[in-house]
Homo-oligomer: A and B are copies of this chain.
Amino acid sequence: KKLSQKVIKDTKDKITLIEANLDDQTGEGLGYVMQKLMNAGAYDVFFTPIQMKKDRPATKITVLGNISDQLLLIKIILKETSTIGVRYQHWHRVVMQRRFEKVTTDYGEIKIKIATYGNVEKKIPEYIDCAQIAHRKNISFINVYQSAIIAAQHLN
């Protein structure tokens, strides 16, 4: 089960953030390694466009993960990218508590993530549910997403 789909009750933790600069790797290979890292349990992986010396356009890869997975994630980066070194740090996090409800829209059932922190509350339709319905029924993703927001208005 992915982190973003788990019920979360604590509101504080610590994570590892791992980075490497890549100027001798192709974009194709980077799409591949993002998938590898997500499959290995990384909380998140993202790319930032950077500009390195000698007129080189390059990509910074950033991986967020559980501290106990740090070595595993570093090894994947060293194996699957052209970098010969990675840097990392621990970061603190504040996270909202999360639970899930289902709502019924004209188009079908959609899961709603309800996130709370103090008196802040947010209701976020699950991307995958909206995307699957939109695809199957040939309506626009925006329409499905908005119908989920409408259906979720009386949830609490």
Contact = CB atoms under 8 A, between A and B. Distances in A.
Given A92-B87, A146-B149, A150-B149, A75 B21 contact: no
B26 A118 contact: no
7 contacts: A23-B26, A24-B28, A26-B82, A28-B54, A49-B51, A82-B122, A149-B149
A155 to B, nearest CB: 12
**Which among A21, A48, A141 has the greatest number of chain B C-beta atoms within 10 A?**
A141
A55 B30 contact: yes
Contacts of A140: 79-80, 120
Interface string A100-135: 000000000000010101101010100100010010
